[in-house]
Structure 1
């Protein structure tokens, strides 16, 4: 019988057990730390403790429960076995809904209306056409392209930036290091949807934020490690940025004492922009385990060298 072990540093994954067993009742599922977990063939992970995966001598596969795998790849002791991720067919839709809400929140000046409400001020702002608002999407993979296309169809002036040149209908695109500054200079609302690589780690730092027009906004739904917290806090305090919606952080869950909770003109959301259902995770993990057992090609395998 093939055995799976659920491993996480700070996230209780026990709710996934019924979904995995519904999809593949022949599997044996254990939780990290239990006596019967040491001989697992498959590690199903989210932010595992360093060395926990390497301690499994029979390991044949590591499977993330999400689209991102940076929280697994950061372990230098990670064994050289296949690493797969979950690709939720509804993930791009969920992310696009969240980003669209954020863009409309700023474009329709709901952030200013909410502040007025706290102060008892009745003030109606002029409405502007979406075409007057430039939304810049960093990262034009499957999800970024979907988000950019949906915003374009709503009438926003959408521009995109990626590591390599992209051609998207109706969207002005920029590429590589030489394209970053001109992309940022013309962006009113910046949306980060990049994968996490050595090149993108800490990309949302002081230099990048300073390239945005004064008064720009940020919607960060990429990876927590893209963000340099002190740089964003400083930009908000000095009003170089006048709003931010941040869904992912370098350290999660965000401690109650973190200054982000009380930062001016900032909305904190708990890594909720788009989350795969337990049944989707269970089905895709079970499917790949069966493929592993049968010697068939695995689905959604990560290129470890690229990090995604």
Structure 2
């Protein structure tokens, strides 16, 4: 089995991925580039935001396996071959995302960001403290990561509601769907956590209309994609105190430019896209399960529906 490893890696990261994957599937031949000599042999590509056009010219390609959970950049490549695409669904990554969501929610609920500012100002002031069951947390996106976050937060007693575009059910979590349901839900939300996939329907969802619909003083946690957020609209919402604090892990331009106002804004906490880093050890095992399924003509896991964008 010949497999192409392609992505926006630096050399050290690429070599680490190759070593991990080769250990997990030693019987395969791993290629770092497609050449005229090997292009006809390659049957699968394991990718992490590969350069547009880099998967062309592989006549026997049968699977594109992403190392990342998000596939929006991959699907936006007009030259992407018409073969199945699988995204990364890793319980280890979901657990890490749930930890970040839990930390951000607790910090917003218990005013820890405000206390950090008070420490900087050497100000001693005890702020009002609410119970978890008095805090309405709205979770946008109820996929694997969203579900992991919901279970952690429900266990601490938060009042939670999930929202997505298409509906469905999630045990233990009230769920609403569709744009008409979003606006009244925001009006009763104290904290909103965004874990939606980035699609044409969700791009720039976090805009002025969204912020105006929120309960005044709500907190925002964006752990999904920078393309969901209209940054200028968030700055206006922070200035008016419609949003009290924003925890942002993802940005339209990464790394975040050094002159960006988010860096120094007292009501913004910036993370460098670390809410749920891919764990090479667990991810390699998941990739290999799909590669062996492909080899053995078995069903593939976590395939992307291109029409949905995820």
Provide the secondary structure at the position in 2 that maps to 1:230: helix
Structure 1 counterpart of 2:309: 307
Contact 1:45 1:62 in 2 (8 A): yes
Structure 2 counterpart of 1:177: 179
Q: CA deviation at 1:296?
A: 2.3
For residues 259 and 116 of structure 2, the distance between their equivalents in structure 1, rounded to whole angstroms, comes to 24
Q: 2:278 aligns with which of 258, 273, 276?
A: 276
Structure 1 counterpart of 2:76: 74
Structure 1 counterpart of 2:91: 89
Structure 1 counterpart of 2:19: 18
Which has the larger displacement, 224-233 or 113-122? 224-233
Provide the secondary structure at the position in 1 that maps to 2:163: strand
Superposed CA offset, 1:40-91 (max 9, x none): 4322222222212224444322111022211210111111011112221223
For residues 14 and 247 of structure 2, the distance between their equivalents in structure 1, rounded to whole angstroms, comes to 27
Contact 2:2 2:31 in 1 (8 A): no
For residues 255 and 138 of structure 1, the distance between their equivalents in structure 2, rounded to whole angstroms, comes to 27
Q: CA deviation at 1:276?
A: 2.8
For residues 188 and 223 of structure 1, the distance between their equivalents in structure 2, rounded to whole angstroms, comes to 21
Contact 1:43 1:63 in 2 (8 A): yes
For residues 57 and 261 of structure 2, the distance between their equivalents in structure 1, rounded to whole angstroms, comes to 37
For residues 167 and 59 of structure 1, the distance between their equivalents in structure 2, rounded to whole angstroms, comes to 36
Q: 1:245 aligns with which of 244, 247, 261?
A: 247
Provide the secondary structure at the position in 1 that maps to 2:300: coil
Uncovered stretches (5+) of structure 2, i.e. residues with no partner: none
TM-score calculated relative to the size of structure 2: 0.90
Which has the larger displacement, 280-289 or 95-104? 280-289
Matches within 5 A, 1:9-158: 12-32=13-33, 38=39, 40-158=42-160
Structure 1 position 255 matched with structure 2 position 251: no
Contact 1:31 1:37 in 2 (8 A): no
Contact 1:189 1:217 in 2 (8 A): yes
Q: 1:161 aligns with which of 160, 163, 170?
A: 163
> How many corresponding residue pairs?
308
Q: For the structure 1 residues 171 and 41, does the alpha-carbon distance in structure 2 shift closer, same or farther, using more than 3 Å as the test?
A: closer
Which has the larger displacement, 31-40 or 85-94? 31-40
Contact 1:233 1:263 in 2 (8 A): no
Uncovered stretches (5+) of structure 1, i.e. residues with no partner: none
TM-score calculated relative to the size of structure 1: 0.91
